[in-house]
Amino acid sequence: MSHTAESSVAATGIRAPQAGFLHLLAELGTGRTAGDVQYTSGSAALSAPTGTAGARSAPAGFGTPHPHSAGAAAPPLAPEASGSGESPARVHHWQLLELAAEGTWSRVYRALPADSYRGQQPSYAVKLLRPQYEHDPRAIALLRREVQVARSVTHRHLVAVVGAELHRQPLLVVMPWLDGATLRERLERGQQFDLPEVLWIARQTAEALGALHQSGWMHGDVKPSNIMVAPNGHVTLLDLGFARPIEQSGSIADRWILGTCNYLAPEWFTSALAADIRSDIYSLGVILFELLTGRLPYQGRTIGELAALHRREAPPPLRKLAPLVPTEVAQLVHAMIAKDPLRRPQTPAEVVERLIRLEIELFTARAWT
């Protein structure tokens, strides 16, 4: 993404940005590390993998980059999708041109419709289950949920599903190919963010959550690896497999997660409160905190320690870590990561409204300096 802003956000604070108005915008207690862990339970879904295929383009809704996907030759196609000779592999009505990314339970390929003319630019991502998960009811439920949610709600900031095969093996889901990089990739590259961009990314993500909420869903897995940012700044919220109806309560005990719990709200770790749309707001607040300060609000060494921090410990004052963040921005972030869901903004629409107000105030202040 290109910027005119000269300022950056880091652990030491941010300088006043100069960007233009266009930038408005479970196994708890074990010794496993907090950053990469499995929770096991009776849920009918597997978590989406984290990461993407590359910084410049990535399949929508996917995850962990394949080690050969960034510039090197792609490895052979998976056995269930491999072709013979030099011809592209074909699965149902799709030509699989190269393995783009893979994770614990699935693989994603750059693909074209089978009747496409030779030389046409690939513009789709086809997600297939790994052979060992082809008949796993949890993995199948994940694919079905992605399709169900995508067909019940469409929004410019939500990943789209343009096709699927859910009745004949191999099962697959087809999504648009998205250019850009996830927030996780950008954070891992050490990229810094100016304040207008942070607010803009957060607002677009909140708009996607609002569309889900209005259609009766919560996302359930809001984290940097599920937020794709295109070169022009457009945000797409990925991975709808963990979405659940808002009237359906849940906790860590009834879901299966592969990845990090750094962004999960406290209510996921307790049976006293049920996770709902305000849990997604908490997760987005943690992301905001990380983008603005360069660190997570809680840094536990084990899953049990991290869960205890989310449940009981107050986060460090944001402006102590980033003194130049405006007070109003810090207040919103701290409200979003409040322990008690009743103290958070109650809907994504409220978050969007407050972010727009902050964006306008920031632009107005710059215009008079």
- How far apart are the C-alpha atoms of 324 and 88, rounded to whole Å? 53
The residues with which 212 forms a beta bridge, in sequence order, are: none
Which helix (H) or strand (E) segment is 256 a member of? Answer: none
* CA 94 to centroid of chain Cα atoms: 26
CA 250, 312, 346: angle at the middle one, nearest 5? 50
**Are 218 and 276 within 8 A, CB to CB?**
yes
For the four alpha carbons of 210, 212, 213 and 218, in that order, the dihedral sign comes to: negative
Question: Known catalytic residue: 36?
Answer: no
Residues 216-247 as b or e (16 or more Cβ within 10 Å = b): bbbbbbbbbbbbbbeeebbbbbbbbbbbbeee
Residue 81 CB neighbours (<10 A): 22
Catalytic residue among 115, 179, 194, 221: 221
For residue 272, what are its two tokens? 């006293």
Helices (DSSP H) in the chain: which residue ranges? 137-152, 183-188, 195-214, 277-293, 303-312, 318-321, 327-336, 348-367
Task: Determine the residue type at 69.
Answer: S
- How far apart are the C-alpha atoms of 285 and 360, rounded to whole Å? 20
Which residues are part of the catalytic machinery? Answer: 221
